[in-house]
Structure formats: C-alpha cells, structure tokens
Amino acid sequence: MLNTLPEPDVIVVGAGFAGLAAADRLSAAGCRVVVLEAQQRVGGRVATVHLPDGTPVDLGGQWLGPQHARLHALAARLGAQVYPTPTDGHNLLYLGGQRHLFRGTVPLRLRPLTLGNLGWVLLRLHQLSQRVPLETPWEAAQAAAWDGCTLGAWLRRNAPDAGAFTLSRIALEAIFAAHPDELSLLHALFYLRAGGGLLHLVATGGGAQQDRIVGGMQTLAERLAQEVERRGSSVRLGTPVRQVRTEGDRVVVEGEAGAVRGGRAIIALPPSMAGELSWHPALPQDHAELLRRVPMGSVIKWAAAYEVPFWRARGLSGQAISDEGPVHMTFDASPPAGKPGLLVGFVEGPAARRLASWDPAQRRQEVLRCLVRLFGDQAGSPQQYVERVWSAEPWSRGGYAGLFPPGVWTQLGQALRRPEGLLHFAGTETATVWNGYIEGALQSGERAAEEVLTCRL
C-alpha cells in the first residue's frame, strides 16, 4: 500500500521517459523520489513486445536520430547499443496507381509541377516555422492569425497541385497522427521548428528515424528505472493515480492503492490524462482548460514478421510511401542480424479511428492488403503479425502526442509548463525541443526536476 511508504521529497506521476528523467535527475541530486505508474511496465508510449522466437518489436516509440543528444547520451550511460535503421536499396512511392523507385527522403522523379509545388510547401513551412519562438509560441508576430487557421486550410491554399497536396498531407499525418484539419497552423510550425524541420522529422538517414536500440526502446526505460531504484528511490507499477491534493506544505497523491504524501509532485502525463485527475484545490481555470483541450493523436502501429527481409533481394529498402491507405508509410525494422525480416508501419488519423473499431483479424487483413500492393504477394503471408491500437490504451488514449487545435496556444499556452504551487508538469507535450518525441520527454523531465531543485534550495 502506498500509505506505508516513507514520505518522499518528490512524487512523480507517470513512468514514461519524462517521469523517469525527472526521477533520475532528482535521485542523483539526493532526493528521495516515489514514481507512480498506472501500467504494469515503465515506458509510457514506448512498448516493446517479443515474438515467439524472442525477437523484440517496438509497438511504440522506437527511433532516435543524430540530433537526439539526450537520448544518445542516456543510451551510452546505460550501456544500450544503438544500430542504424536499414536503408540500403530503393524506397518505393505508390502514387496515382503507379509505383516509382527513389532514394533519399524526397522522391524527385515527379511531374515538374508536383515537384515544384512540393518544394514550395517545404520551403514555406520552414520559413514560417523559424518565426515561432520555441519558449513562447504565442508571442510570434503572426500568432493570432496562425493559431486561428488549421494546418489543413493553409495546405489547401499552398498546395494547389494534387500530387503535392497528397504527399504533403501524408507526411504531415505521419508526423502528427492526425489530419491537418485537426491542429492549428501555429502548433504545426512550432512542432516543426522544435524538431529541426519537416525533412528532419520524416527522414531516416540523418533524421528522426535513423537509429534504434538493440533489444527495443523499452529496455532503455527499464534500465533508467533500475538506476533510480538503485539510488534508494522507488518506482511503483500498477498504481493508477486518481486525485492530487495540496495540504499546506505537502502534496497528497491518491489512487486505488492508497495515498502517498510528499513535499512536491511532478505530473508527467499527457495533458488529456492529467485533465482527468481530481485536483484539490482546483487548478487555475486556464491550466485546467488547457489540459482538457489537448487531445491525443490517433495511431495504430503494426509489425509483420517474415523469415527473411525478402524485399532486400529485390533491391528495396522496405521504406514505402503510398497515397492509398490505410497504410501510407512502411519501414524496415529488422534486427541487426537480419532475421526475421520485419516491416513496421502505421495507420494514422481518421483511418486509425475508423479501423480501431474493427475486429483485429479484419485490421490485419486490411494492412496486409496494403503490403501486397507495395511489396507483392509474399508480403501477404507473414509468420507473425502484431499491433497496438494506441487509442484503446487506457493510460495513453492515443499517440504520438497531444494536439493543439486552433486557439489553444494563444489563449492557454502560457499555462503549459507553469508550476502551480507545489505541483510541476512534465511530458513531451511541454518540451521546447523535439516536442512529441522521446528526446522532448527527456528534456521536459529534466526541466521539471530543475524547477523542484531550485524551489528546495
């Protein structure tokens, strides 16, 4: 029971990478920390499962890029091995019923009009994103206009060519796990700048999908939790939190397993999940409304395992882009040894919401139908198939991250990272670099920990 624990200096709610990073920094500074996690595992929106032969498969966050300095440093400190995502061979573009082969991030063998319009969209998004202050997006000179407009509306004005519009929409849905009409242009520009630009976000070599962790990303979260406990702090699994109370100079965090009292608390949950907690006293109105108005994206992640990565023998990388859904992107996620061959991909946004209600066998059939169209009949008979419907996960309710619809940044954004008395807030949605990514989660946890340490001095 939680009420039998010694009183900690800090209670951390959530054992994803944000909460674990906060606990790591605090425990290293000599604080006694209790981390409360609703699930029976650590990692949050990172989840590694194992095939019958023991092959690890990441059904949540799995990649790290060369710009992810915190994540690379953490992997090195904890002795985790990093290996590159396989990229040898041609990428595949399926557009308008035609298959095209290309290398790199952008398919260059497009109609001149399509290629020119696509280049304009990429350039203009980059230019506009550079005008958004990462710490204070609401202070951008055109913040009100951008926050009053959806990304989709902007895209329709700037991508009159059908092919350019389709490819841009696919890329943006892959980044946000949402249709461009679901988020504000200001949020999109902030997010793109926080991740170094759209090309960095969708690229493999040199981009956000460049590398992976041997054994799966969740092993890194598990090692970090062990490091926290080695210092005398505690990570408690299966302990959902329902209520957060401030009583004088103490915080009481209560759930089904009892209550724990501590000096301060860090809430390291997605905004929508934090918004479901009972707060006493109530959070300030703007902070409470912010939590309610940042929904999660919608994504289903799947992996298909084959005896070998058969696409390599055909000169293909396993990376594909398709304008026919519900699968629009695939990657080669085979382990370093090359066996089994693994293709992974996503169903995102409106398609994910539609397929979430389907029978799992129907979803599998629909995904494999897409793979056959891209890679041939052999793709239709995997040895194993696994998936994770993230909107059905009770302790995340979606992925990859929270979405800011029009009006939220300019009206409520100042409350996002603001401490409230003894309460501090972390989570990748609060990050100013690599927002929505594991790298951003680590930054947010470190920032919240520093706030606590500063207050205790």
Instruction: Give the tens place of pLDDT for each residue, 352-368.
Output: 999 999 999 999 999 99
3-state per-residue secondary structure call for the chain: CHHHCCCCCEEEECCCHHHHHHHHHHHHCCCCEEEECCCCCCCCCCCEEECCCCCEEECCCCEECCCCHHHHHHHHHCCCCEEECCCCCEEEEEECCEEEEECCCCCCCCCHHHHHHHHHHHHHHHHHHCCCCCCCHHHCCCHHHHHCCEHHHHHHHHCCCHHHHHHHHHHHHHHHCCCHHHCEHHHHHHHHHHCCCHHHHHCCCCCCCCEEECCCHHHHHHHHHHHHHHCCCEEECCCCEEEEEEECCEEEEEECCEEEEECEEEECCCHHHHCCCEEECCCCHHHHHHHHCCCECCEEEEEEEECCCHHHHHCEEEEEEECCCCCCEEEECCCCCCCCEEEEEEEEHHHHHHHHCCCHHHHHHHHHHHHHHHHCHHHHCCCEEEEEEHHHCCCCCCCCCECCCCCHHHHHHHHCCCCECCEEECCHHHCCCCCCCHHHHHHHHHHHHHHHHHHHC
pLDDT above 60: residue 457:
no
Rounded to whole angstroms, how far apart are CA atoms 216 and 218?
6
Instruction: Give the tens place of pLDDT for each residue, 142-172.
Output: 999 999 999 999 999 999 999 999 999 999 9
pLDDT band, very low/low/confident/very high, at 236 (cuts 50, 70, 90)? very high
pLDDT band, very low/low/confident/very high, at 106 (cuts 50, 70, 90)? confident
pLDDT above 70: residue 137:
yes
pTM given for the model: 0.97
Q: Is the separation of the CB atoms in 284 and 419 below 8 Å?
A: no
pLDDT (mean) for 290-304: 98
pLDDT band, very low/low/confident/very high, at 225 (cuts 50, 70, 90)? very high
pLDDT score of 256: 87
pLDDT band, very low/low/confident/very high, at 3 (cuts 50, 70, 90)? low
pLDDT above 90: residue 330:
yes
pLDDT score of 105: 83
pLDDT (mean) for 374-402: 97
Q: What percent of the chain has pLDDT over 90?
A: 94
pLDDT band, very low/low/confident/very high, at 231 (cuts 50, 70, 90)? very high
pLDDT band, very low/low/confident/very high, at 327 (cuts 50, 70, 90)? very high
Q: What does the mean pLDDT of the chain come to?
A: 96
pLDDT above 90: residue 177:
yes
Omega into 326 within 30° of 0, i.e. cis? yes
pLDDT above 70: residue 78:
yes
Rounded to whole angstroms, how far apart are CA atoms 266 and 36?
10
pLDDT (mean) for 38-64: 97
Domains by residue range for the chain, with CATH: 2-44+217-283+420-456 (3.50.50.60), 82-105+203-213+297-395 (3.90.660.10), 113-195 (1.10.405.10)
Q: What percent of the chain has pLDDT over 70?
A: 98
pLDDT score of 4: 64
pLDDT band, very low/low/confident/very high, at 456 (cuts 50, 70, 90)? low
pLDDT score of 104: 86
- Mean pLDDT is lowest, of 44-58, 106-120, 159-173, 302-316, for 106-120
